[in-house]
Amino acid sequence: MTATLEASTLVQRRCRRAMTGLKLPPIEQIDVDDLVSLPEGYRYELHEGNLVIMTPSTFWHKEMARRLMLMLHAAGSRVFQDPGVRGDRARDCRLPDLGVVVRLPAGLASYSNLPGSAYSLVVEIISEHSQNGEYTDKALWYARQGIPEYWIVDHTPDRADEDGVVHVHRLTLTGGDPAYARERTVLLSELEKERSDV
């Protein structure tokens, strides 16, 4: 218990030193609208009122996002990187890697987050060193927002730099509750080829 407490205190001290230039409003008062006023250079989510500062992504992650964004854009989708998905409560917001928006509100400069009903698809790309519940918590959260399709991109079994595994999920009602059912699993390179052949 003491070793755990000491390790926890050490981690807290290191975090404080690393984030001395990060000025935040009182955490218990942050809501979705406050996210735009937080310091730039970080990615933020609110999980039921808890502020989560996202770690920088790897270049494999960035490459998968770039390729998916180009593919979806070429298919005529309005795809955005790091779009905010607003939850049902003022202190709940997620930041998927990509999102396809079906309807944008007027006054775009006023919005950094949209409700789940604005999206037809959200994409999460697994970050190797900071998994954030893409297969569990986030999937359930996006389903509750009513987003029809959810893709998770993960590493190939051989950890290839040039490809990823795309798990395509569709929204269903399981016992009356929204949930995602996996429709298919496909390599990103194969999905790109399928989309270019259409």
Name all domains of the chain by residue range, CATH numbers in brackets.
57-197 (3.90.1570.10)
HSE toward the beta carbon, residue 113, CA cutoff 13 A: 24
Do residues 55 and 41 lie in contact, with contact meaning Cβ atoms separated by under 8 Å? Answer: no
Give the pLDDT of residue 169: 97
Residue 192 per-residue DSSP state: H
Whether the per-residue pLDDT at 88 is higher than 70: the answer is yes
* H or E stretch covering 194: helix 188-197
Distances (CA, A) of 132 to 5, 13, 52, 170, 189: 24, 23, 10, 20, 25
What percent of the chain shows pLDDT beyond 70? 81
- pLDDT tens-digit series, residues 28-56: 667 777 777 777 767 777 777 677 777 77
Please indicate whether residue 33 or residue 146 has the higher confidence score (pLDDT): 146
The residue written with tokens 């996002």 in the block is 65
- pLDDT tens-digit series, residues 155-181: 999 999 999 999 999 999 878 899 999
Give the pLDDT of residue 69: 97
Do residues 98 and 68 lie in contact, with contact meaning Cβ atoms separated by under 8 Å? Answer: yes
Give the pLDDT of residue 50: 73
For 52, the 3-state DSSP assignment is strand
Do residues 166 and 98 lie in contact, with contact meaning Cβ atoms separated by under 8 Å? Answer: no
- pLDDT tens-digit series, residues 5-18: 443 344 444 444 44
- pLDDT tens-digit series, residues 91-120: 788 889 999 999 888 888 788 889 999 999
Q: What is the dihedral of CA 80, 83, 86, 90, to 10 degrees?
A: -150
